[in-house]
Structure 1
Amino acid sequence: MIELKDFDNSAPFLAQLRSPDDGQPVTLINSFLAPEGEIDKVIEVWRQDSLIMKARPGFVSAQLYRGTGDSRTLTNVAVWETLTALREAFSCEEFQSTLALYPDGSVSQPVVMRTAAVPGVCVA
């Protein structure tokens, strides 16, 4: 089973999911650390749970990134139309049941983000 850890203790992931929704898009950035020798299994379970999420209302896109070399790190970047859509998808029983399929020792650090404008670099 996967263990969820907070990246930022001042804004725990589950508290972020319960935040008021302003109707704007959100991005879930979720970094995983696979147990040694289990990265292919983590990718397969991620594929299964992503197919569930992809079918949910409000899903926009997802991309999985894999660390180079011998890294056991994976990062999922998933865009949702609204925080409510992400919250409902994350809470659905079908998705929740996949969390037990991850190999023991798997760790996940999800965080909900929004784009930020930085003058001369990027727009929000």
Structure 2
Amino acid sequence: MIQLAHLDESIPYRQQLQGEEGPIVLINTFTAPDGKVDEVVEAWKWDAQYFQKQPGYISAQLHRGTAGSRVLVNVAVWESVAQLRAAFSTEEFQKARSHYPDGSFSYPHIFQKVAVEGVCVA
């Protein structure tokens, strides 16, 4: 089963899920146990297919570190935190955590765009 960990200990993911902001980007970094990257990808595929059916889901893209890295990063876009929270909180999704091999870790964190003058817009 996958274990949730915190990217920012001062603002844990479950606290972020209480917000109402939108649109948002969920960036979830995974670490797979040795030799289990393919199993983590398969478990993530189930998650992604589940989320695709949920209200507020916009898109997701999985990335893997190069050179045989065991680190994967999911970048998912949602209309709002409330819609992500609703999808994440279902019993069906919580049971899916067992699809991941033991020793897997997930570091989910919710972000919003930042406007930086002359560089990017929010």
TM range (shorter): over 0.9
Aligned to 1:11: 11
Asked if structure 2 preserves the Cα contact closer than 8 Å seen for 1:28 and 1:79, the reply is yes
Note if 1:37 corresponds to 2:35: yes
Give the distance between the partners of 1:31 and 1:115, measured in 2 at CA: 18
How many pairs does the alignment contain?
122
Give the distance between the partners of 1:67 and 1:39, measured in 2 at CA: 11
Write the mapping of 1:32-111 to structure 2, written as runs, cut at 5 A. Answer: 32-111=30-109
Q: Which runs of 5+ in 2 are unaligned?
A: none
Displacement after TM superposition at 1:97 (Å): 1.1
Asked if structure 2 preserves the Cα contact closer than 8 Å seen for 1:63 and 1:78, the reply is yes
Displacement after TM superposition at 1:5 (Å): 0.4
Runs of 4+ in 1 over 4 A off after TM superposition: none
Note if 1:116 corresponds to 2:97: no
Give the distance between the partners of 2:61 and 2:37, measured in 1 at CA: 16
Asked if structure 2 preserves the Cα contact closer than 8 Å seen for 1:52 and 1:94, the reply is no
Amino acid at match of 2:13: F
Tell me the TM-score normalised to structure 1 length: 0.96
Q: Which runs of 5+ in 1 are unaligned?
A: none
Give the distance between the partners of 1:121 and 1:65, measured in 2 at CA: 24
Identical pairs, percent: 51
Tell me the TM-score normalised to structure 2 length: 0.97
Give the distance between the partners of 2:27 and 2:119, measured in 1 at CA: 21
Partner SS, residue 42 of structure 1: helix
